[in-house]
Structures are given as structure tokens and as C-alpha cells.
Amino acid sequence: MDLGLTGRRAVVTGASRGIGLAVALGLAAEGADVALVARDPRALDDAAARVGAHGGRVLAVAADTTDDAAVRAMVERVAGEWGGVDVLVNAAAKPSGGPVPALADLTDDAMRQEFETKVLGYLRCARAVAPHMVAQGFGRIVNISGLGARQTGSLAGSVRNVAVAALTKNLADELGPSGVGVTVVHPGLTVTERMPALLAARAEAGGTTADEVEAGLAAGTSIGRLVTAEEVADVVVFLCSPRAVAVTGDAVAAGGGARGAIHY
């Protein structure tokens, strides 16, 4: 299937590693031009070299999505050099999976930090690209959130991910008549470069081995294993395409299935 992404101009935040980088590589493989956005210029340059191997145009733009002026400058640079923006993938957020504080230990500042990066950061980027998409009558915005929106265990993680889903639906209803689709993708625990350290930390905390931890996590999925960043990216890339016009405002889970749960 031709996804119709050849020549499309995409912005991917959090693109220097993990799911963001996998999405950038997937879009480039489909013929899109990709602007990679992250805070670390050196990591961005390394990622841009990999993405550029697919032959399309690549921009590496160092920007912090907690800074509205930096976000606007980033989008104006991309639109100025490429003539517009067709796709935005918001993936710049600290992954969940670390220590979960008890209610008594969860500070206001910790909650504010979660919202500043993931919820407000996503909003800033969408707000900056939306005028370009509306003017041309086409656009795709995909917000990477997480399955913490559907389960307890981390108050901060659950609240921020639910907020991203609410943001997504509101944007979809507002921008849909102008040809702009907006979706949220909920990955579960995903195999990225940070996985070995995460498994080791959980194993140490639980007095077990990393293999046993991974087996336990895999047993909670319908497919019996953890999903990779590249497999999440396959879902995201489709949602970025003109082919995905029928899907907007909704949440798409990409965690290999949650055993026993029914979502409708």
C-alpha cells in the first residue's frame, strides 16, 4: 500500500532516540522529509545521519518544547525552508516506568513538570503547526501518550496521558473540518535503547533477574512479548498518512494488547 507520504513535510519531536527516532526513520523510509527536534544537538546530529540515509530531506533542530518561543521558531524554520508542514508527531516526553512516588511524596512541582513537557509541550507544537495545516487543507498530528491512561499505578503518568487524549480529541474536532486529523497513540512498555537499564533496575528492586522481569511483563500482553519501537512506529506512520482519514480524535493502543481488558 502506498501511504502517500512521499514529499510530505514532517516534524517529529523527541526524535533523537526511542519511539521518536523510530517514527522519524519510518517516515523517511516512506519518502517523507523529516525535521528532527530534540534538546541535545549531538544526539540530533547522529539521528539525522541515520534518517538521512533514506535519501529525503532532513533538518535537525535543537529546541526545548517547554519553551513556546523555541517551538514557534522551530516550526517557522521548517515551514520557511520547506514551504509548510504536513505532519507533526509529538513524542518529546520523559518515558514512564521509573519509581512511582506515594501520594504523600508526590509534589506539586513533580506534577507541573509532567504537564509542562508532555501536555503543554504537545499543545505548543500543535498550536504552532496548525495554521500551516489549515491553510493548505491537510495535516496530520499524532500525539504519543501511553497506556498509563488506561491503568493505575502512577498518578502523574495516568493523569498526563489522559490529558493528552483529551487534548487530542479537542484538536480533532476543531481542526477536522479543515482536513487535519489528530490521533493519540498509547504505547505500552516498549523495547528501546533504555530497556536493559530499566529491566536491571526492576530486577534489583525485586530481587530477581532481568530475564524474569521481562518475562513477567511480556505475560501481561496478548501477544506474549514486548513491542519494539519500530512496531509502534509502523502504527504511527500509517496515522500520519492521507490513508488514515477515517481515524481521528481517537486513541490507538500500540502495546501488544492488554490481557483481560476490554476497551470499546
Please check the confidence at residue 190 and state whether its pLDDT lies above 90: yes
Percent helix, strand, coil in the chain, to 5, is 50, 15, 30
Q: State the average pLDDT over residues 230-246.
A: 98
pLDDT per residue as tens digits for the range 90-128: 999 877 656 678 889 989 998 898 899 999 999 999 999
Name residue, grid cell 525552508: 81
d(CA 152, CA 170): 24
Average per-residue pLDDT for the chain: 95
Query: What dihedral angle (degrees, nearest 10) is formed by the CA atoms of 104, 110, 111, 116?
Result: 180
Record the cell numbers describing residue 31, joined without a space.
519518502
pLDDT per residue as tens digits for the range 40-49: 999 999 999 9
Cβ pair 253, 227 in contact under 8 A: no
Q: State the average pLDDT over residues 237-256.
A: 98
Record the cell numbers describing residue 2, joined without a space.
502506498
Coil vs helix vs strand at 263: coil
How many other β-carbons are positioned within 10 Å of the β-carbon of residue 174? 13
State how far Cα 170 lies from the chain centre: 18
Select 9-254's CATH number: 3.40.50.720, 1.10.274.50, 3.40.50.620, 3.30.470.10: 3.40.50.720
d(CA 236, CA 97): 21
Predicted local confidence at residue 98, as pLDDT: 62
Predicted local confidence at residue 96, as pLDDT: 66
Percent of the chain having pLDDT more than 90? Answer: 84
Predicted local confidence at residue 12, as pLDDT: 98
Beta bridge partners of 37: 13, 61
How many other β-carbons are positioned within 10 Å of the β-carbon of residue 11? 28
Predicted local confidence at residue 114, as pLDDT: 87
Predicted local confidence at residue 102, as pLDDT: 84
What distances in angstroms separate CA 226 from CA 19, 105, 189, 262, one per listed residue?
14, 30, 7, 19
Record the cell numbers describing residue 84, joined without a space.
509548510
Q: State the average pLDDT over residues 21-29.
A: 98
Q: Which residues contact 36 (CB under 8 A, 6 or more apart)?
A: 12, 15, 16, 20, 21, 24, 44, 47, 48, 51, 58, 59, 60, 61
d(CA 181, CA 244): 8
Q: State the average pLDDT over residues 53-66.
A: 97
Q: State the average pLDDT over residues 143-166.
A: 93
Q: State the average pLDDT over residues 209-225.
A: 94
- pTM for the predicted model, two decimal places: 0.96
Cβ pair 226, 213 in contact under 8 A: no
Name residue, grid cell 500500540: 254
